[in-house]
Structures are given as structure tokens and as C-alpha cells.
Structure 1
Amino acid sequence: MLHRVLKRAGLPKVRFHDLRHTFATLALQNGVDIKTVSGMLGHYSAGFTLDTYTHVTTSAKREAANTMGGILSGALR
């Protein structure tokens, strides 16, 4: 049924799992807490969700570096 809906909408063919993966990744990247996402996906643990659906992105690395830079520069004053 998913493929029929996508075809009628003129969208590319994707698997249901691809939509699930996109949902989880976007939710986590936009601040939805891991326990909530894990529960919505029906996972047995938040650790499984983290291992499966999170990816270290360039922007996440940059944000972490900026955060640590701010912490360390404050600590050196």
C-alpha cells in the first residue's frame, strides 16, 4: 500500500523502514529525548535505539567542539 500511495503522490519508492529510520534520526537530532523515541519505535532499550538510529554528523561534532571550547575557556579564566 505504501508504494501505491508514493506512486500516486509522484514520490520515489522507499521502504517503510526508511521512513522509520528518518523519523528516528530527525526526532533525535531535534531534541526529542531518547526514551521517548525508543518507546515510540517499540524498542526494548534506549541503547538499542541509540546504536541503530543515531549518527555522528559534522554539525553535531562542531556543536560539541564549540560547547567544550566554551567550557574549557571558562575554566582557564
Structure 2
Amino acid sequence: MSRALANAGLPHRKFHSLRHTFASRMIEKGVDVKLVQSWIGHATIQMTYNIYVHVQEDAKKASAQVQDDLFADIL
């Protein structure tokens, strides 16, 4: 792996770092977590969620908007 990175002009990275980036970015882009779990080989989806699902600022804002929309009819 180090040789491939060097040949591509990229800095050394541990394989685990690439795996973490891959899984995190796929989930950020909306790929189903169950599918990501199968790709990276976790035994349970809970493990994948605990490690790779990060609450993003955009997701927080979208969630708040959904709540506003739900209660707009009531208030």
C-alpha cells in the first residue's frame, strides 16, 4: 500500500484510516448503513453506527426543520 500511495504522489496512510474515511463518506452521502456494514465486515449494524455515523451539522438543521414542519400545523 505504501508503494502505491508513493507512486500516486500521496502521503502514507494506514489502511484503517482509508477504511474509516470510506465508510464515513458513504454514510454521509446517504448510502444505507446496512450496506456499508456488509462492505466493511462488521458483525452488527450497531457497531457500524457507533463507529461511523456522526451527527453532521446539516443533519441537525434538517432534523430541526422537520420538527418545525410537524408542529406548524398544531400551533
Q: Same fold (TM over 0.5)?
A: yes
| Matched pairs, number | 75
Give the 5 Å matches for 1:1-77: 2-76=1-75
Task: Name the amino acid aligned to 1:69.
Answer: D
- Paired residue type of 2:9: G
1:28 deviates by: 0.9
Distance 1:15 1:75 in 2: 52
Could you tell me which runs of 5 or more consecutive residues in structure 2 were left unpaired when the two chains were aligned. none
- The runs of at least 4 consecutive aligned structure 1 residues that moved more than 3 Å come to none
TM-score by length of 2: 0.87
Q: How far is 1:49 from its partner?
A: 0.2
Letter in 2 for 1:24: A
Deviation at 1:74, TM superposition (A): 3.2
Give the letter aligned to residue 33 of structure 2.
Answer: I
1:34-62 CA-to-partner distances (Å, cap 9, x unmatched) read 11111111111000000011111212211
- Structure 1-normalised TM-score? 0.85
Where structure 1 has 5 or more consecutive residues not aligned to the other structure, the ranges are none
